[in-house]
Every structure is written in structure tokens, then in C-alpha cells.
Amino acid sequence: MAADEAGYREYVIHRLDGFRRTAFLLCGDWHQADDLVSIALVKLLRHWRRVSVMEQPDAYVRRVLLRTWLDERRRPWRRERPTEVVPDRPDPARADREAHTDVMAHLAELPPRRRAVLVLRYFCDLSVEQTAAALGITEGTVKSQAARALDTLRARLVDVPAMEE
Amino acid sequence: MDVVSEYLRRATDGAPPSRIDVDALIAADHRRRRFLIGGSAVTVAAASLAVVMVGHAFSSGTAPDRTVGGPAGSCVAPTPTWTEAPPVDPSKPPLMYPMDTVGPSPMYTEEPAEAAKARLGQAFAAALRSAMPGVPFTDWADPSCALPQVITFDPAFPYESAVVVTDVHGRGDIVIHLYAAAPERPACDDCVWKQDLPGGGLAYVQTDNPGRVDIWRPDGTGNMLLAADHMGDPARTVPPATREQLIAIGSYPALSIFPR
């Protein structure tokens, strides 16, 4: 078990930063991101012996992260609350200048799975096939969700190109 | 899509220092494993406490009332607010209850922890009385207390409780963890055993531990139960509860972290 733990510790220390950033892009909050990653790492530890011999342990952690995040969003206290006034849309010219700081706000406008597709495809650099496997959806759905996500971003961030099929 | 990738990477710049302590996660898992290893121990400290208290109780002639589980002494909890289910007839399996199918309520976070612990202790006692009629039990750590004491454990397993039951085979432990489960019914791809429960619930086993059952309830509660010999008692040759009895306990309607 000591050897297992040493392996686990080494793996986590090397991957922790990437997992935190992925979780942050999913949930938009660093504290919640740390919570999500903690839950994923606890599950990883419990299954480390099995996961450590997998070809891609990262895929397991990402899948747990995604599932945990999606589960958390379904909790009543996590649900979005309706507001009487719709927030102003950003001015496209201004959005260009503030694109980097506003990208999280734009991500927040995306439905959860579409947001997850975007993060997995363009931050984690997963293929369509890998993204589909991580989310348990078809490759066609990944493509369509990615295209819609990019459409949304393009409307906000002027230099986002159209998706190439 | 390098532009999008670049946007996403820059969005994560300026990350605050991590609050995640890998060694603390490992230490917490060690504690959990110690708790889960059969009935041999919850923790060394808790075991020592139990031994001391058992010794004290019997040496002072104040052995706990083992005739039936229920409120006693200083560990009395408020009267249950639900109607207790009648005892099940063990000769008429399956021992299980239909469960609520309504989704989780905000009670999980809104209910004060002390109130939840009192409520769940009562529910656990009622479930034990119903599923194992006539089998006396006491709190695991406090044998003078006939009401199971619920303690909080960690965020992944918010509530846990354990009792010592006494039957013709000797003493045994029944442990329950209650936690917020995933809303979806488990796929159970790697289960070694599973059984559908009324109301859409699922009882399943993922380990080779014959005394463990996990219950997924449609209301969002996950109940994990263990039945084991009491602190490694070699005299005990059969588990203190059958799988059916564990299912009956875990599916008891009131034993939910999302009360109606």
C-alpha cells in the first residue's frame, strides 16, 4: 500500500494544477474547483490500484470531475435563480478588449454539457472521440455541441473562427 | 481552434494557491479504511473508548438495557415525526420498503447538523427495530445508549452511525454511512451483485465483502451498510445481519438525508 500511495502522491502532485484549471473552467469558481478536484482525488485514491494500470488515468479523473460537477449542478442549492432583469450583453467592440477577462462570463452562459465539451476539446485537447467517451455522448453530439459553443463565443469574442468540420 | 484554447488558458491564469492537501486526503482515507475493515475497529481510540465503557458498565452493575433498541438515558432524541413502519415478517421476503421518488430537497444543507443527527439516529433505530425485530442493539461507542449516535465523518460521507447488536451468535456490528448520492441510478457495471428495489431504488454490492451493501435511493440518498463481527470476535461465525436485513434497513423510508 505504501508503494501505491507513493505512486498516487506522485501522480497527483504532477497533475493537480491541470485538474484544478479544468475544474475551474467547468464551474467558474476556484473554491468549488478545489472541492470538485478533492472529491475526484478521493475517488481516485480508493480505486488507485485499478486506475494506475490504466492506459490513461487522466481520463478516469476527468470523468469523475465531470460527473461530480454535473451532479453538483443538479442539487437544488446549486441551481440558477431567476432574475427579473436580464443582464446587459457586452458591446462587441468592448468584448474584444476584455475578452480574456470576460471569457468565464461567456462560458457561464453555456449549458453544462456544451461547456464541458468546449473545455475538454479546447483546453484539455481531447479528440472528439475522447470527449464523447468522457461525457458518455456520441461523437456527433460532441461536434454539434462544440459548434454551438463556438457560435456563442464567436458572438462575444470577435476573433473566434468558425468551426472546421 | 488555437484562439479558443488560448482564451481558456488565459482564463485560468492567476489561480489562487491550492487548498488541496494530498497527504490529508490520504490520511482521511486511512481513517475511512480503518472504519470499514469489518467490525474490527472504527478507530483505535473509539474501540478503546468502547472497551472502557463496556467494562465500566458491567463492572458497575449498570449494564445497558439490551431488551430492545430505543431511546434511553442521556441519549434521548426528539420523538420521530414520521409514522414508524411495522416490523417486517422475516418469513416473507423480500425485506424492503418502497422509497420516495421525489428528488432531493434543500433540507440536506438547511437542516442543522445536530437536528439531522438526532433525526437520523431515530430513523436508524426504527429501521433496525423493523428489519431485525427483537434483536437488541446499542450505540457502537456508548453501550449505555440504546439510541444509535450519528456522527459526521467527512464531506463525502456526511453522516455515519454504528450499533452493536446481540443475538444468539454473539455480538456484531452494523454500520451505516449516509451521503448525497449521484442523482442518476448507478450503472453498476462493476457490481458483483445487484437488486432492484421498489420505487426505483437499487441495492448493490461492489466488493467481495459479504457483509456490505450499498443502497441507492431515488430521493438522492446513498446508504452504505456493513455488517461484521464485533471487533474481530472470532466466536462469531455468521454476519449479524443478512443482506436482506441490510437492504431493509438501508431502504427504510425515514433513513434519508433528504426528508420530506
CATH number of the structural domain A92-165 = 1.10.10.10
Instruction: Report whether pLDDT(B47) > 50.
Output: no
Cα–Cα distance, B78 to A25 (Å, whole number): 45
Any domain includes B38: yes
Any domain includes B176: yes
Which pLDDT does position A9 carry in this prediction? Answer: 92
Summarize pLDDT for B63-87 with one digit per residue, the tens. Answer: 333 233 333 344 655 444 445 555 5
Any domain includes B16: no
Pick the residue from chain A with its C-alpha nearest to B8. Answer: A123
> In terms of pLDDT, which residue wins out, B154 or B49?
B154
Any domain includes B118: yes
Rg (CA), chain A: 17
Which pLDDT does position B94 carry in this prediction? Answer: 45
Summarize pLDDT for A85-136 with one digit per residue, the tens. Answer: 554 544 444 444 455 557 888 888 888 888 999 999 999 999 999 888 888 7
* Average pLDDT of every residue of chain B: 71
Q: Which of A41, A122, A159 sits opposite B5 (nearest CB)?
A: A122
Average pLDDT over every residue of B186-211: 84
Count the domains in chain B: 1
Instruction: Report whether pLDDT(B250) > 90.
Output: yes
Domain ranges of chain A: 1-78, 92-165
Any domain includes B257: no
CATH match for A1-78 among 1.10.287, 1.10.3470, 1.10.1740, 2.60.120: 1.10.1740
Looking at beta carbons, which residues of chain A come within 8 Å of B1?
121-122, 150, 161, 163
Q: Which of A72-76, B49-53, B177-181 has the highest mean pLDDT?
A: B177-181
The letter for the amino acid at B108 is Y
Instruction: Report whether pLDDT(B247) > 50.
Output: yes
Segment 52-111 of chain A within 8 Å of chain B by CB: 67, 71, 74-77, 99-100, 103-104, 107
Q: Do A8 and B26 touch (CB under 8 A)?
A: yes
Any domain includes B256: no
Which pLDDT does position B59 carry in this prediction? Answer: 31
